Structure 1
Amino acid sequence: MAKVLPLLFQKRHVLPSGRMQIYISPVDQTPTLKAALASTDGLGICMYSDKKEAQHLFHIGTRVTIDDFNQERGSPLIKLTVSGHNNFKIQSIKQTTDGVFWGETTSLPCWEEIAINKEQQLLAIRLKKMFEKFPDLDELYKCKDFNNLSWLCQRWLEILPLPTVDKQHLLNKPTCLNTYDYLMSMIKTSH
């Protein structure tokens, strides 16, 4: 079933079961924030690339809900804390006169949970170290699922500075196993 969601475009991306803090401009994006808060479906976060040779919007996004928002003293930006629920594919985009981008979206199936095996423990160990190193990241996740390969792979896709094209390709797969292989090939080549 198609859903129409207000959209925000970000270089970083949040995935299902993920949490992230993003910043928006109160000048340009307040109408989008208002539309998202008024919607029972939340907001769509979509990746984009702004390389000089070509701007590109990517077709897979994540439906999120806003857990919190505020404007820090002295900052011109509004900070949103969002939680990811499910991925979607954008069918079409329209912009309204108030500047809000609305996307007609169709939901993509979530990756099913896969219990990690002994070989896959390395991803969990390294993510735990990442959480220790970055307390702000750790604080976002009250519930961590280090025994679920799908959860681990999605967190790595959120935090690693991978090419957006690669992330989109992996998110289009029916399970997390391609992402696991991709991540392990990166780890093996870094040693």
Structure 2
Amino acid sequence: MSRTTEALMNLVIFPLPIYLLPGGITRLRIFEQRYIKMVKQAVTGDGFVISQFAKEDENQCCRWGSHVTVVDFQNGDDGLLYIDVKCDAIVNIGETYRDEDNLLRAPITLSQHWPGQPNSANSQLLADELSKFFDDNPNYASLYPQPEFDSPVWVCSRWLELIPINFDNKCCFIEPDSFSKAMSFLATVIIEHHEEKTDL
């Protein structure tokens, strides 16, 4: 991403139980006035951060979050605002506080995630399975007009976002050296499931 660490030092934290890695896109429904204001500021500023509330205190959040920017927006038939946001980076979150609009804010710093990875037999199979998932789920696929099925990092990231396991169990995959662990995990869950279907 092009922004400097200094430019991202203090941002709104949107508390949501959404796991989003770099390159990931999700659609949000916005209805509270304070969050509508957040979106307006995000469009002209430096985005915002999605992070889960800390279990012990709703004025605190996880130590990390997904820095996102707004890539599309529309008014729904229900009159509410819908926005598509894309994760640019994983960020570390400092001490949180409430601003004058009762929005949660915190100083943040950029965190490195996975570097580029070469293709392998497993990553190709994961890409093939993800392509099939896109074909079967056009609403989800519409979020990604230019999918990167040739990128092992992009493919693994999308699978980790999609797979229905506990949020806390996914947190280990935000570490910059966790790609091999993620690939091993996905090979067990996705590839072995594919092989079981093939054997039937």
Same fold per superposition (TM over 0.5) = yes
Q: Give the TM-score band, short-chain normalised.
A: 0.7 to 0.9
Quote the Cα distance in structure 2 between the aligned partners of 1:160 and 1:28. Answer: 31
Superposed, 1:114-153 pairs within 5 Å as: 114-153=117-156
Relative to structure 1, the CA distance from residue 123 to residue 60 in structure 2 (aligned partners, 3 Å threshold; closer, same or farther) is: same
| Percent pairwise identity | 23
Q: Does residue 1:112 correspond to 2:115, yes or no?
A: yes
TM-superposed deviation, 1:48: 4.2
Q: 2:71 aligns with which of 54, 62, 67?
A: 67
Unaligned runs of 5+ in 2: none
Quote the Cα distance in structure 2 between the aligned partners of 1:189 and 1:134. Answer: 21
- What secondary structure is seen at the aligned counterpart in 1 of 2:62? strand
TM-superposed deviation, 1:37: 2.6
Q: 1:168 aligns with which of 167, 171, 179?
A: 171
Quote the Cα distance in structure 1 between the aligned partners of 2:171 and 2:109. Answer: 16
Contact 1:7 1:44 in 2 (8 A): yes
Q: Does residue 1:25 correspond to 2:31, yes or no?
A: yes
Unaligned runs of 5+ in 1: none
CA RMSD of aligned residues (A): 2.3
Q: Deviation per CA, 1:82-112, whole angstroms, max 9, x where unpaired?
A: 1111110111211112122112111111311
Structure with bigger strand share is 1
Relative to structure 1, the CA distance from residue 54 to residue 94 in structure 2 (aligned partners, 3 Å threshold; closer, same or farther) is: closer
TM-superposed deviation, 1:49: 7.3
Q: 2:91 aligns with which of 88, 92, 97?
A: 88
Structure with bigger helix share is 2
Letter in 1 for 2:89: N
Q: Partner of 1:45 in structure 2?
A: 50
TM-superposed deviation, 1:187: 3.1
Letter in 1 for 2:168: V
Contact 2:66 2:89 in 1 (8 A): yes
